[in-house]
Amino acid sequence: MQLIHLSEVDSTSAFLGGEAREFPPWTVVLADRQRKGRGQQGRTWHSPAGGLYASVLLGPEVVSPVFTLLGGVAVLEACRAISGSAEIGLKWVNDLVFDRRKLGGLLAEVVHRKRLILGIGINLAPVDLPDAACLWQIAGREVDRLALLEEIVARLECWVTRWGDGGARPVIAAWSAHSVTLGREVRVETAGETLTGTATTLDEEGRLVLELPDGRRRQIASGTVRLADGRYA
Ligand code: BTN
């Protein structure tokens, strides 16, 4: 991997995306802090020192929406391997969860020439936010940030190869096996509405299939999921 390590930047994803034509695929930007970290659904990603903030440029042509899930599986595997905990799970669409609390998240953004930037934020040290977990506490020791990043990139490369060989199916199977969302009663906030129902499966494009109380099914492409009782996970 080609690593660009910055002490501070607005956003590692904005940095990569702004000059995407100049960076080859698999360029990785790591920052110690971000001034304007971007989160899912237009939210801010609070990024003080003590977290892992990195973005990876995938390409040359990434067209499948399943790549978002692929990123989540790769990062989950890396966090499990480095921390030694098999209790870390995935909440749709791309939150890393431990003990019903948020450990981290991914933000996938498509830029020039159908390239995908995978932005990865992971709490390493404790953070002062509600419902937040951190990797040091899970591992019971300080985790080396660069070792974690190298593990993430290795797992990403492995999953991109698997996707090339087998398409979306193995990615969706792996994501589903690690899910803390499927089978639960959830509340989904989408752009236009809030829906409550049972999260049943993911479809072939990684959309969440929700079974509504009247038995109808809805496929959700993007939105924020909480449990139906309002808890985070
Ligand atoms: C989420 O909302 O759960 C996703 C958060 C993604 C944050 C990461 S930190 C590195 C990269 N740069 C950003 O501005 N955002 C992503």
pLDDT digits (tens, 9 = 90+) for 116-128: 999 999 999 999 8
| Section 74-103 average pLDDT | 97
Task: Answer whether 55 contacts ligand 1 (Cβ < 6 A).
Answer: yes
CB 171 within 8 A of CB 159: yes
3-state secondary structure of 33: strand
pLDDT reading at 90 higher than 80:
yes
Q: What angle separates helix 66-83 from helix 145-166, to the nearest 10 degrees?
A: 140
- Answer yes or no: is the C-beta of 170 below 6 A from any ligand 1 atom: no
Total-model pTM: 0.96
Q: What does the pLDDT read at residue 80?
A: 98
pLDDT of 62 strictly over 60? yes
Going by pLDDT thresholds of 50, 70 and 90, the confidence category of residue 20 is low
106: alpha, beta or left? (left if phi > 0; alpha if psi -120 to 50): beta
In the reported structure, the alpha carbon of residue 202 is separated from the centroid of ligand 1 by a whole-number distance in angstroms of: 23
Q: Is the pLDDT of residue 170 over 60?
A: yes
> 43 CB less than 6 Å from ligand 1?
yes
The pLDDT assigned to 123 comes to 98
Residue 11 has pLDDT above 90, yes or no: yes
Ligand 1 pocket check for 95: Cβ under 6 Å: yes
Question: What value does the mean pLDDT take over residues 104-110?
Answer: 94
Containing H/E element for 103?
strand 101-111
Report the 10 Å Cβ neighbour count for 110: 15
Q: How far, in Å, from the CA of 213 to the mean position of ligand 1? A: 34
d(CA 163, CA 135): 28
Q: Is the pLDDT of residue 45 over 60?
A: yes
Measured in Å, residue 38 CA sits from the centre of ligand 1 at 5
Q: Read off the tokens for 36.
A: 């304007």
- Give the C-alpha separation, 29 to 121, whole Å: 12
Highest-confidence segment of 13-27, 50-64, 81-95: 81-95
**Using a 6 Å cutoff on CB, does residue 120 contact ligand 1?**
yes
Nearest CA to ligand 1 atom 2: 39
How many CA atoms within 13 Å lie on the side-chain side of 122?
A: 30
Q: What is the DSSP string of 184-223?
A: SEEEEE-SS-EEEEEEEEE-TTSPEEEE-TTS-EEEESS-
CA distances from 14 to 24, 35, 38, 118 (A): 16, 11, 9, 11
pLDDT in tens, 205-229: 999 999 999 999 999 999 999 999 9
The mean of the pLDDT values for the chain is 94
> How far, in Å, from the CA of 185 to the mean position of ligand 1?
27
Average the pLDDT over 199-204 and give the result: 96
The four Cα atoms 139, 141, 145, 150 give a dihedral, to 10 degrees, of -50
Mean pLDDT of 41-57: 95
Task: Kindly give the pairing relationship between strand 217-220 and strand 224-227.
Answer: unpaired
Instruction: Calculate Rg over the CA atoms of the chain.
Output: 17
Ligand 1 midpoint to CA 151 (Å): 18
pLDDT bin (cut points 50, 70, 90) of residue 18 is confident
Q: Tell me what pLDDT residue 91 has.
A: 97
Cα of 217 vs centre of ligand 1, distance in Å, is: 30
For residue 71, give the amino acid letter: G
Pick the atom of ligand 1 nearest to 102's CA: 3
